[in-house]
Structure 1
């Protein structure tokens, strides 16, 4: 099986307090779902249509594991805490075998 990578890019952050509440809940939810944080924070550089907002890369053993982490009750609580505090783009991709 190939690994999966969750790439979470924030396009904009409108409420830092809601973001902080999300981060407090989302990190433990990802770890509980089998995720391993590989990178997170502001990008060192962005090109073409990239934005210099918070980005997170999380490794999972499988796509199914990553999708299950997204759908988990714990992560859904994190999303509820974030609410309209940010606009994001989340992608889950498989590694190259």
Structure 2
């Protein structure tokens, strides 16, 4: 079943580390089968406190999304980010037809 990885940055402490993360993370996620559907800062915040940047990435399954997260290429991106930001990452299944 299709799943979505939702990554929201809640605080950014170091723009240089964030830039390096973005440089490494995108290719790592795409290599693992992820397709970016949306990314950027919120256009409108209708309720709650807004994250700074959000990405929504489609995978063929939740297992594929988790495998992408644990892949050596993505973990290199995580290491490059280090303490440069705080974020929440969730993987959710798509609604069944």
Q: TM-score range by the shorter chain?
A: over 0.9
In structure 1, runs of 5+ residues without a counterpart are none
Give the structure 1 partner of residue 64 of structure 2: 65
Deviating 4+ runs (over 2 angstroms):
47-50
Distance in structure 2 (CA, Å) of the matches to 1:31 and 1:52: 23
Please give the per-residue CA displacement for 1:10-34, whole angstroms capped at 9, x wherever unaligned: 0010100000000000000000000
The normalised TM-score by structure 2 is: 0.95
Distance in 1 (CA, whole Å) between partners of 2:2 and 2:49 is 25
> What displacement does 1:51 show?
1.5
The residue number in structure 1 matching 2:9 is 10
TM-score scaled by length of structure 1: 0.95
Q: Does 1:24 align with 2:46?
A: no
Counterpart position of 2:80: 81
What is the RMSD computed on CA atoms of the aligned residues? Answer: 0.9
8 Å contact 1:13–1:85 — kept in the other structure? Answer: yes
Unpaired runs of 5+ residues, structure 2, are: none
